[in-house]
Structure 1
Amino acid sequence: MKWNSLKTKAALASTALLSTVAQAGPDLGEAQQQATNWHAIIMFAIFVGLTLFITKWAAKQTTNTADFYTAGGGISGFQNGLAIAGDYMSAASFLGISAMVFSSGFDGLLYSLGFMVGWPIVLFLVAERLRNLGKYNLSDVVSFRLEEKPVRTLAAISSLVVVAFYLIAQMVGAGQLIKLLFGLNYNIAVVIVGLLMMAYVMFGGMLATTWVQIIKAVMLLSGATFMAFMVMHSVGYSFSEMFKQSIDVFAKVHDVSLEDASKIMGPGSLAKNPLDALSLGLALMFGTAGLPHILMRFFTVKDAKEARKSVVVATGFIGYFYLLTFIIGFGAILFVSNNPQFIDVAKMAVTGKLELVGGNNMAAVHLSDAVGGDLFMGFISAVAFATILAVVAGLTLSGASAISHDLYANVLKKGQTTPESELRMSKIATLGLAIFAMILGILFEKQNVAFMVGLAFSVAACANFPVLVLSMFWKGLTTRGAVIGGVVGLVTAVTLIILSKAVWVDTLKISDTPINSFNGPAIFAMP
């Protein structure tokens, strides 16, 4: 490979691309604290300065609850689609899936397809009716023709559980990524993310959150495009050549035969337990239509037509992004796995397996260094952090609306409240959620981030999705049926999660063997 000349071109190109480049967030496992990366810190400071300026502008436009929750319904379908993409392409999406491709090839594509197939369900089943029936959030739709108090309470609690699981994933991911890339202490990193997300949401509401997500999506897609382009350029723009070279390199670095290495081109570890694979598929497919921070975005457009347009735009950008992560994963096999600069020799001596500096989940970040040098990697690192900020802002806003709009204004006060007091309560809820997220991030430091995202999807699929769809399409649904169904789905999903290996053994350390041997609860809790 003519890599030196290619790298020189890449470094020049990356400098020109700085205004439109970037990546997404982190994933599982521990990361070692690295030396301070000044390129990343300077670029991150520029990004934070820009977004805080937007927040200041948005704060002047945000004068009532409609502005705070939905940006006054003034976002266009295209803008909202881009913001949804920015909200959806989260911590596990980028580094997690590219790392999965790097480690096991085809399995990573299966995972990304799972994230993708949920969008047609959102488009054909949910988007239009959601926009027509609701005002601010998921609970408005579910309680539209049912008894309001019990249904709203259930919808708010299940939304908060989903938000909590998702927040753990994002906060842990932020801390691990920043510890690796910026050389900052893990706890400090988590606190910085918490404070920034609180500022965006508390002062700028949905308008600031939307623009943070749009900027992040543009930068992320541009950066991922550049990396994928450099990988394809190196193999003559041929997928078959990329796969062939990847198998050769994989065999060499893992010290296996070509026949064994070629197995990365087919399904492997994900399908070892068919029930787990099926459960994960169900969660990813139906969980998307139950994620409160995604559903909330459909109320920011003026009508159902713009809501449908939002989904089409978002699906296009998200599908393109997952295709890029697949190329980036194979690019990491080609240019990271055989480069001594990125190999953790000390850790390899202990595990006997290929180990990258900072963990294998940093494969895409190391690839950015390989194709664009320190400057490009610094920028990628900064926007990886920014990616998490965009996602946690959306999560915090949906959590705050569940507390202030549902539990406070409609359940506790029975609708007898003023917009001013509801807005004040939403800002108090934002403060509380930010503190809660920081504590969770510190407590769950060593938890698997991609798995936590999977759990958020599982709870959304088991508790939110069935009640939402039945409330919109089945006239025979009663309040009692909705509440019992939602509670059973929520309690079953959470109980199975607590009894699984990831929580019972790895986090709580109650026993060496889990009570529930299955990782995904959706196949049992969703029906």
Structure 2
Amino acid sequence: MTGATTSALHMVAQSEPGEHRTLIVTLFSVFVAFTLAVTVWAGRKTKDATDFYAGGRSFTGFQNGLAISGDYMSAASFLGIAGAIALAGYDGFLYSIGFLVAWLVALMLVAEPLRNSGRFTMGDVLAFRMRQRPVRTAAGVSTIVVSIFYLLAQMVGAGALVALLLGITGEAGKNLIVVIVGLVMILYVTIGGMKGTTWVQIIKAVLLILGTLLITILVLAKFDFNISQLLGAAADNSGKGSAFLEPGLKYGVDTTSKIDFISLGVALVLGTAGLPHILIRFYTVPTAQTARKSVLWAIGIIGGFYLMTIALGFGAAALIKQETIIESNPAGNTAAPLLAEEIGGGAGSTGGAILLAMISAVAFATILAVVAGLTLASSSSFAHDLYANVIRKGKATEKEEVAAARIAAIAIGAVAILLGVFAGSLNVAGLVALAFAVAASANLPTILYSLFWKRFTTQGALWSIYGGLFTSVFLVLFSPVVSGEEKSMWPGVDFQWFPLENPGLISIPAGFFLGWLGSVLSKDDDATGKKYAELEVRSLTGAGAH
């Protein structure tokens, strides 16, 4: 999201007059003020650990489905997929398919068993069958690592988005915005807990769907609501003809690009079911059936959104020259803002400024909601897994645990602010890809093995989490994401030897393999099978679930 947003909004900051920036500031301010008021209201209803971590398990399937959608549809999806379609056509739309298919994995394998088996975090599921302290430590480390990488991407993106829309060019001004965004994020979590964060995500999801729907309708209206006409115009204006609507334009260049796409697809499809801020959402509903319903609602909402990215991406390709999109941002991530401005009347027009301000406000809302969800996931894991069960050995009271979670949210927020300040010039696409790869390599194997394999042991869980974590980080460090290419984090040096930008094709099988190997080489923690049988009954029926 960040590199995308930076270039797009640089152009906007230069082209929009002062009154249009005032409009943008007003929309931002209204959203922040309203959501903070909701957070304070929700915070007053937060009485105990269940309220703080799981929102009192009081949300309906529809409400939680909206919140999951708000958590999942990040600004990277909103801006990045539209740009990928605008430049790569059919190949760009494959991202939408991958993100959506991922939810079938979550629905079929994770949602209901996880809701039945755990209480607040992924560590609860692992610790049910295994030795508490080592597996909770590993789960906490993995959760925090994934969340920090995601947080860094969103924080840098927020700084770029707001600074450039407001015409702020100095580093001090950009850093101040990162600090302000971080402080708002901390307020959401520390005051509102899960209840406040959930309502922020619901509001954001509604705004995102409405904003995208409006742009979609306006685009389709330009082509008499004829999708074939839209696609034909996009193919003609792209300069690539019919190849624009066929596979292979981006990922069929050579063998490496084909393998890289498979690796990215595997990471996206499997990583979603291991993302910490998604997993904790299953604990906010009263029953496992409601958890399943919430995923079904999320699939419908997210699926509708990704269908609308067809209009966003192909609309940008049809109405804006590719040279213009590439000039503003080589990756095409400025396509959605450019499209909003174009169908509103063009640069400098009031209609264009209004639509641009609306899209910008929606993107900002998206960042705040995702950041709040990530902060809550990581602070909850620290307080519940590391503080309460490892450091205090289960002797902490609920009041102490919630206090630790709030302190952890402040600390993690401070880390995100600090990294966001110093990482403003980095290409954070690698960080997002790494977060998905870590989640799929470390978290998902341990969850599935714990739920469905009787022979899984503590050593297997540790090997899987730490092995998947190390493998994915190690391969990314020596990939084109970090060095050796123009778009790398450090383009001036070259120490890459791993050819793929995403390590999922290697690190995910490694996580599963190490989990199996560690288990077969160690003594069974549950030789009688009693714990596994109890977990199996609980995960499938909900008997004894919290």
TM score, norm. by length of structure 1: 0.88
**Of 318, 338, 341, which residue of structure 2 is paired with 1:369?**
341
The 2-side partners of 1:152 and 1:49 are apart by 37
Pick the aligned partner of 1:118 from 102, 105, 123.
102
Give the letter for the 1:270 counterpart: Y
Counterpart amino acid of residue 355 in structure 1: E
CA distance in 2 between partners of 1:57 and 1:183 (Å): 34
| Contact 2:4/2:332, CA 8 A, preserved across alignment | no
Equivalent residue for 1:427? 406
Verify the 8 A CA contact 1:27 1:96 in the aligned structure 2. Answer: no
Structure 1 residues 2-151: aligned runs within 5 Å:
27-28=3-4, 30-31=6-7, 32=10, 34=13, 37-151=21-135
**Residue 84 of structure 1: how far off its partner (Å):** 0.2
Aligned residue in 2 for 1:8: none
Instruction: Give the corresponding residue for 1:474.
Output: 453
Q: Tell me, in whole angstroms, the C-alpha distance in 1 between the residues paired with 2:440 and 2:432.
A: 12
Which residue of structure 2 aligns with residue 511 of structure 1? 493
- C-alpha displacement at 1:240, in angstroms? 1.3
For residue 176 of structure 2, what is the aligned residue in structure 1? Answer: 188
Do structure 1's residue 335 and structure 2's residue 311 form an aligned pair?
Answer: no
Alignment of 1:184-263 (within 5 A): 184=168, 185-251=173-239, 260-263=240-243
The answer for the alignment partner of 2:524 in structure 1 is none
Query: Secondary structure of 2:129's partner?
Result: coil
Deviation at 1:449, TM superposition (A): 3.9
Which residue number corresponds to residue 155 of structure 1? 139
Q: Give a deviation string over 1:372-416, Cα, whole Å, max 9, x none.
A: 322222122112111100000000000101111111111111101
CA distance in 2, matches of 1:27, 1:78: 34
The worse-fitting range, judged by mean Cα deviation, of 481-490 and 392-401 is: 481-490
Verify: 1:266 aligned to 2:238, yes or no: no
Aligned residues: 483
Q: Equivalences for 1:274-289 in 2 at 5 Å? A: 274-289=258-273
- Give the match's secondary structure for 1:507: coil
User: In the superposition, relative to structure 1, how do residues 510 and 243 fare at CA in structure 2: closer, same or farther (>3 Å)?
Assistant: closer
Counterpart amino acid of 1:203? I
Distance 1:233 1:510 in 2: 47
Cα distance, 1:418 vs. partner? Answer: 1.1
**For 1:244 and 1:491, how far apart are their aligned partners in 2?**
46
2:328 and 2:320 mapped to 1: Cα distance?
A: 8
Q: Shift of residue 174 of structure 1?
A: 1.3
Q: Which amino acid aligns with 2:343?
A: V
Letter of the 2:497 partner, please give it. I
Q: Given that residues 27 and 95 in structure 1 are in contact (C-alpha distance below 8 angstroms), is that contact kept between their aligned partners in structure 2?
A: no
* Pairwise CA distance, 1:446: 2.7
Higher mean displacement: 482-491 or 83-92: 482-491
Q: How much has 1:366 moved relative to structure 2? A: 1.8
8 Å CA contact retained: 1:287, 1:458: yes
Query: Over residues 283-322 of structure 1, what are the superposed CA-to-partner deviations in whole Å (9 max), with x where a residue is unaligned?
Result: 0110000000000001000000100000000011111111
Residue 535 (structure 2) aligns with:
none
Secondary structure of residue in 2 paired with 1:355? helix
Q: SS in structure 1 opposite 2:334?
A: helix
Contact 1:166 1:456 survives alignment (8 Å):
yes
Q: Residues 111 and 448 from structure 1, CA distance in 2 versus in 1: closer, same or farther, beyond 3 angstroms?
A: farther
CA contact 2:2–2:153 (8 Å) conserved in 1 = no
Cα distance in 1 for residues equivalent to 2:429 and 2:467:
25
* Cα contact 2:478–2:495 (8 A) shared by 1: no
Question: Could you tell me how far apart the structure 1 residues matched to 2:265 and 2:476 are?
Answer: 16
Instruction: Give yes or no for the alignment of 1:522 onto 2:494.
Output: no
1:442 alignment counterpart: 421
Aligned residue for 1:442, secondary structure, equals: helix
Whether the 8 Å contact between 1:86 and 1:217 is mirrored in structure 2 is: yes
Once the two structures are superposed, residues 484-527 of structure 1 have per-residue CA deviations (whole angstroms, 9 ceiling, x without a partner) of: 12211111011111121222453356832413222111111111
Question: Percent identity between the aligned chains?
Answer: 45
Answer with 142-151 or 193-202: which moved more.
142-151
Taking the aligned partners of 2:2 and 2:320, their CA distance within structure 1 comes to 17
Report how far residue 101 of structure 1 moved.
0.9
- Distance in 1, matches of 2:177 and 2:366, equals 14
Asked if the contact 1:231/1:327 (under 8 Å) is kept, the reply is yes
Task: Give 1:278 deviation, angstroms.
Answer: 1.3
Residues 445-480 of structure 1: CA distance to partner in whole angstroms, max 9, x if unpaired? Answer: 233344432221111000000000110011110111
Letter in 1 for 2:496: P
Contact 2:6/2:161, CA 8 A, preserved across alignment = no
- Is 2:231–2:314's contact at 8 Å kept on the other side of the alignment? yes
* Equivalent of residue 499 in structure 1, options 478, 500, 523: 478
In the TM superposition, what is the alpha-carbon distance from 1:369 to its structure 2 partner?
1.7
CA separation in 1, counterparts of 2:23 and 2:314? 26
1:391 aligns with 2:370: yes
- Bigger drift between 191-200 and 495-504 goes to 495-504
1:130 alignment partner AA:
L
Is 1:309 the counterpart of 2:307 in the alignment?
A: no
Deviates more, 1:440-449 or 1:478-487: 440-449
Deviation at 1:355, TM superposition (A): 1.1
Preserved contact between residue 81 and residue 96 of structure 2 (Cα < 8 Å): yes
The alpha carbon displacement at 1:420 in A equals 1.4
Counterpart for residue 541 of structure 2: none
Which structure 1 residue ranges, 5 or more long, are not aligned?
1-24, 252-259, 345-353
Alignment of 1:289-328 (within 5 A): 289-328=273-312
Alpha-carbon distance in 1 for matches of 2:101, 2:329: 33
Cα distance between partner residues in 1 of 2:99 and 2:174: 29
- Relative to 1, partners in 2 of residues 1:88 and 1:156: Cα closer, same or farther, differing over 3 Å? same
Amino acid at match of 1:261: G
- Measure, in 2, the Cα distance between the counterparts of 1:376 and 1:485: 47
CA deviation profile, 1:430-459 (whole Å, cap 9, x unmatched): 111111111222222233344432221111
1:145 to partner: Cα distance? 1.0
CA distance in 2, matches of 1:502, 1:444: 15
The whole-number CA distance in structure 2 between the counterparts of 1:216 and 1:225 is: 14
Retained in 1: the 8 A contact 2:442–2:466? yes
Residue in 2 that maps onto 1:360: 332
Q: Distance in 1 between matches of 2:410 and 2:492?
A: 33
Change (3 A) 1:502 1:406: same
For the residues of structure 1 that align with 2:277 and 2:103, how far apart are their CA atoms? 15
